[in-house]
Amino acid sequence: MNMKAFQTVLEIKDPLHGYVQLTGTEAALLNLRTTQRLRGIKTPAGAFLVYPGADCSLLGSLLGTLYVTNTFFEYLDAETDEILKARMVAMLFKIASGPWSNVMDEYLSVRGFDKNRMAKLILESSTVGDVVQDSEFTKAELCDLIDRGVPLKGLRIDLNKVPINPGLIDSLERDAYFAGVEYAQIEFHRLFTLTKIIKNHLAFERGSLFTLESYLSAGIMMYDAVYFHKTVRAAELLLLRMLNEGGVHFLPSPDKEIDLYLEADDVTYHDTLLNVDDDAPEGFRSAGDLFTAFVDRYLPKLASSRAISDADFLEKITTIDGKYKIECEIAEDAGIDPKHIYIDIPDRPSVYYYPGKYPLDELYLFERGTRGYEFWKVSEMSDIARSFSRIMKPVRVYTSRGYRSRVKRSADKILESFDQPGSFE
């Protein structure tokens, strides 16, 4: 498919997509120190500890997402200015990322700094905004696009939520390629060909449902093999605990010191965290110990896991207080300090992708019959899509080395108390 005509000043070779072209404004943003630091941020943060080849940087992800976003909007028959808006929003979301990528997303989101707020913050308070101010865009215009989505044919396309998601497609292909797992061979050009905007709805041709399901299946396989891999998550839980314990001592608050935040990559705090003074605050010393364990690959071990369908329990552990309460119950029963317990579930911001992260409620299947267009919800036609909304999630309990057998007994007992026993008759 031919790219819509707009002036580009730079092209960069990508191992997946070939040459990615950039406009003058995009090239100016790319040249900022703020953007170049993305070379030093791994994504997902813990994948390289399991798959050494999965040493992917956010800068590569930015370029790939730019390319796939462009392709997606072209297939939706967007005008040139609509494509440029979508590219700019996709770029801003990536630039706003912090060290340890998906782990930082969770750390910041529970403190009120979600992706939208971060993207607007860098527009309003950093050199990114200065570049935008000298471009064809305005800050106010881009803030509106971030909040409400990119307008196209009566629909607002939110790049953080759209179910056929350009950023996810690039990540699935990129992470599968570099990890060597070969689970995400997505024919995204065909996927986009079959996607339409009809009567203000994003819709997919019903007769080609298998193409949509292959995309959904690729996400499931990558979730299982990479994004929710037990060791990947052990590493990311350790980093998250490190941030929660001592982040206030070394990580600047984005709303107060945005320039310092935007100078940081994964190695920025390396020496700081590996050389914490003995007289430093307790939380800072704890963070240093946890980071040393991460660097040494001395990770928490999986002690217990159970798929639970109790809706009240699952809702409870989606909160920080709820997770901590269960961690304390397990620790008390095992006779150890709660700091040695880590509870994990799929649908949290630090899990790079999980089934259902991009809701399918606004995606329809369509046929054009004698009475005009007919629509069906995807979940009515696809068992795979229906499974995304089921009330059953794997709950995992990790613990520090040396406590595994004790924690397993306690965690198994407590998790089973929240679940219906199985039977065979």
Cα–Cα distance, 241 to 247 (Å, whole number)? 9
Q: What is the pLDDT of residues 43-58, one digit of tens each?
A: 999 999 999 999 899 9
Cα–Cα distance, 81 to 87 (Å, whole number)? 10
Strand 201-205 versus strand 363-369 pairing type: parallel
Q: Is-contact 71 14, C-beta < 8 A?
A: no
- Decide: helix, strand or coil at residue 28: helix
Q: Is-contact 209 382, C-beta < 8 A?
A: yes
Q: Is-contact 222 184, C-beta < 8 A?
A: yes
Q: Is-contact 411 304, C-beta < 8 A?
A: yes
Confidence (pLDDT) at 407: 97
Confidence (pLDDT) at 376: 94
What are the residue ranges spanned by the domains of the chain? 1-425
Measured CA distances, 293 to 221, 287, 382 (Å): 29, 10, 44
Cα–Cα distance, 143 to 406 (Å, whole number)? 51
Q: What is the pLDDT of residues 229-267, one digit of tens each?
A: 999 999 999 999 999 999 999 999 999 999 999 999 999
C-alpha torsion angle, residues 5, 7, 75, 35 (rounded to 10):
170
C-alpha torsion angle, residues 67, 70, 71, 74 (rounded to 10):
-160
Answer whether residue 279 shows pLDDT above 90: yes
pTM, rounded to two decimals? 0.94
Answer whether residue 2 shows pLDDT above 80: no
- How many other CB atoms are there within 10 angstroms of residue 183's CB atom? 19
Quick one: pLDDT band at residue 61, thresholds 50, 70, 90? Answer: very high
Query: What secondary structure does DSSP assign to 312-341, as a single string?
Result: HHHHHTTSHHHHHHHHHHHHHHHTS-GGGE
Helix (H) and strand (E) counts for the chain? 20, 11
Cα–Cα distance, 315 to 312 (Å, whole number)? 5
Q: Is-contact 303 407, C-beta < 8 A?
A: yes
Q: What is the pLDDT of residues 128-160, one digit of tens each?
A: 999 999 999 999 999 999 999 999 999 999 999
Task: Output the six-digit token pair for 289.
Answer: 């110990």
Q: Is-contact 137 88, C-beta < 8 A?
A: yes
Query: Between residues 32 and 372, which one has the greater pLDDT?
Result: 32
Measured CA distances, 296 to 49, 124, 218, 274 (Å): 10, 39, 32, 11
- Residues β-bridged to residue 369: 372
Please list the alpha-helical segments (H only) found in 223-319: 230-250, 258-261, 270-274, 282-295, 311-316
- Residues β-bridged to residue 20: 12
Task: Output the six-digit token pair for 164.
Answer: 């056929």
Tell me what percent of the residues of the chain surpass a pLDDT of 70: 98
Please compute the mean of the pLDDT values over residues 338-359 and round it to a whole number. 95
Positive or negative, the Cα torsion across 266, 350, 104, 340? negative
- Residues β-bridged to residue 366: 205, 375
Measured CA distances, 247 to 4, 251, 287, 420 (Å): 45, 5, 8, 39
Confidence (pLDDT) at 283: 96
Q: Is-contact 197 153, C-beta < 8 A?
A: yes
Order across the sheet with 372-377: list the strands. 195-198, 201-205, 363-369, 372-377
Confidence (pLDDT) at 1: 40
Confidence (pLDDT) at 6: 80
Cα–Cα distance, 74 to 85 (Å, whole number)? 12
Please compute the mean of the pLDDT values over residues 62-68 and round it to a whole number. 97
Please compute the mean of the pLDDT values over residues 345-356 and round it to a whole number. 94
Quick one: pLDDT band at residue 371, thresholds 50, 70, 90? Answer: confident
- Residues β-bridged to residue 11: 21
Q: What is the pLDDT of residues 171-225, one digit of tens each?
A: 999 999 999 998 888 999 999 999 999 999 999 999 999 999 999 999 999 999 9
38 Rama sector, left if φ>0, alpha if ψ -120 to 50, beta otherwise? alpha
Confidence (pLDDT) at 55: 87
Query: Quick one: which H or E segment has residue 397?
Result: strand 393-399
- Residues β-bridged to residue 354: none
Tell me what percent of the residues of the chain surpass a pLDDT of 90: 90
Asked whether the bond before 44 is cis by omega within 30 degrees of 0, the reply is yes
Which of 279, 291, 299 has the alpha carbon at shortest distance from 247? 291
**Domain 1-425 class?**
mainly alpha
The beta strand positions in 23-154, using DSSP E, are: 150-152
